[in-house]
Amino acid sequence: MIKRIVDLALRVFQWLSKSMWIPALLTRLFVGYFFFTSGWAKSHDLATFTANFASWGIPYPAFNAALSAYTEMIGGALTIAGLAMRFVSIPMVINMIVAIVSVKFKEVSSLADFANLDEPLYALVYVWLGFSGAGIISLDAVIKVIVTSAFGSPVNAPAVESASLGAQPSRLPE
């Protein structure tokens, strides 16, 4: 009886490992949509966003407001598509770090206050996407298939962002 339960648990864990593309896809779509719409709104009201940057004491507020807004909008669109995910994650994390350091830290007086901020969570999502890649339902995966078929194994292919296929489970004991 215990062997059957263990076998069932191992099969479930193996299926979960093979299905890592599901949370990657859902996370990409949700966070990408959030940043695309947020960046869209900011880029279409740059005057107000620039005034906010000036009030926060951020240098070159017009330039930095536009940079932040377009980083969010373009980064969000690329995140939804799963295109260049590992590269896109870098400016998105930087954008969140700048927001935390230049604006949000002023509101933080304890670890609980910091844990209640949204920006560290968004930064961590992009750190995860940077490490894991966009997943198999993405343009990165399509590009990987095309490059692999044109050049053979990805090891022999030119440097191209590799789409993560999720954790590959090790062989289960018999």
Q: Which domain holds residue 124?
A: 19-151
User: Tell me, what DSSP letter sits at residue 103?
Assistant: T
Q: Is residue 90 part of a domain?
A: yes
Q: Are 156 and 9 in contact (CB under 8 A)?
A: no
174 in any annotated domain = no
In a domain, 87, yes or no: yes
Q: Report the number of distinct structural domains present in the chain.
A: 1
- Check residue 105 and report its DSSP letter: G
Each residue of 82-93: pLDDT tens digit?
999 999 999 999
DSSP type of residue 159? S
pLDDT in tens, 21-74: 999 999 999 999 999 999 999 999 999 999 999 999 999 999 999 999 999 999
Sequential DSSP letters for 46-78: HHHHHHHHHHTT-SSHHHHHHHHHHHHHHHHHH
How far is the C-alpha of 85 from the C-alpha of 83, rounded, in Å? 5
